[in-house]
């Protein structure tokens, strides 16, 4: 760690739970972020500013005017650019030393089987059920912790699915792949702008805790936010022995 690093990350280093050793772990870590929109924006900014040494961003879309109400990594002058390039520029403006890989492509099993094994943590910031299932299956396959978030309207949720823990569930334990919910999207339902910031910042916090070895993660617990009342509720999630992704038969 250089003298500049010691100054840049001094507020982390001052925390007894992180210190120099924890910050070194962050600097050596690799985070894979699926989605560079509403959730991926605060995730990328906080991971980059906190010193995660390598961040891989995956998103096939370009920046649109309608994104700017909530996707804080993007700006008016980057409309039309790939979202991953725009988010990378925003991270580099905060921390020029961050290393970013940008993949302008849709997430599929081939991409995940290449990049998930390289990552120390995976953050699902996507906006559809099919992608979430693909990401979860890859994380189970390659035994990587997954930090998953979702937000629509005034409602958000976030949890950690960590298959390294024997009793921890995966995403499919809670949301079976063969029972997809009705898809709702921001383009038709709308989304409260700060909601994605709250959920994305919580995802970043959980990822940083996992990487630095700090505290207790949300594994086995689903946090749900009603932003109308600014009320958090929590439910416990048991692992399902018959889960088609992480169950005993698999």
pLDDT tens digit sequence for 158-173: 999 999 998 999 999 9
Q: Hey, where are the domains in the chain?
A: 3-236
pLDDT of 220 reads 96
Catalytic pick among 125, 139, 173, 186: 186
* 62: three-class secondary structure by DSSP: strand
113 neighbors 54 (Cβ within 8 angstroms)? no
186 is catalytic: yes
pLDDT tens digit sequence for 118-151: 999 999 999 999 999 999 999 999 999 999 999 9
Structural class in CATH, domain 3-236 = alpha beta
DSSP state, residue 82? B
pLDDT of 179 reads 74
Mean pLDDT of 21-31: 97
90 neighbors 98 (Cβ within 8 angstroms)? no
Confidence bin at 187 (pLDDT 50/70/90): low
Q: Average pLDDT of the chain?
A: 95
Q: Which residue has the tokens 């383009």?
A: 187
**Residue/partner pairs of 106-110 with CB below 8 Å, 24 or more apart:** 106/60, 107/34, 107/58, 107/131, 107/134, 107/135, 108/134, 109/134, 109/137, 109/138
237 neighbors 159 (Cβ within 8 angstroms)? yes
25 neighbors 2 (Cβ within 8 angstroms)? no
Q: Is residue 185's pLDDT more than 80?
A: no
160 neighbors 219 (Cβ within 8 angstroms)? yes
- Quick one: tokens of 97? 């030393």
């Amino acid at each position: 760690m250089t003298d500049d690093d010691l100054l840049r990350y001094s507020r982390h280093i001052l925390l007894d739970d992180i210190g120099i050793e924890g910050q070194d772990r962050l600097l050596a870590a690799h985070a894979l972020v699926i989605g560079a929109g509403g959730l991926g924006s605060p995730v990328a900014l906080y991971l980059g500013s906190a010193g995660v040494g390598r961040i891989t961003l995956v998103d096939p879309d370009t920046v649109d005017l309608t994104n700017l109400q909530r996707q804080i990594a993007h700006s008016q002058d980057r409309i039309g650019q790939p979202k991953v390039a725009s988010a990378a520029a925003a991270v580099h403006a905060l921390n020029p030393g961050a290393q970013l890989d940008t993949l302008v492509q849709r997430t599929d099993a081939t991409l995940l089987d290449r990049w998930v094994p390289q990552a120390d943590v995976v953050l699902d910031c996507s906006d559809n059920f099919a992608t979430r299932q693909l990401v979860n299956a890859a994380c189970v396959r390659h035994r990587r912790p997954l930090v998953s978030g979702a937000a629509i309207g005034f409602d958000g949720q976030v949890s950690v699915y960590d298959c390294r823990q024997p009793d921890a569930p995966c995403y499919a334990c809670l949301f079976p792949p063969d029972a997809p919910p009705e898809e709702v999207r921001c383009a038709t339902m709308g989304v409260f702008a700060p909601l994605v910031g709250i959920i994305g910042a919580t995802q970043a916090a959980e990822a940083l805790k996992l990487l630095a070895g700090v505290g207790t993660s949300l594994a086995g617990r689903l946090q749900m936010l009603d932003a109308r009342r600014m009320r958090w509720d929590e439910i416990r999630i048991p692992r399902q022995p018959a889960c088609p992704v992480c169950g005993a038969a698999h």
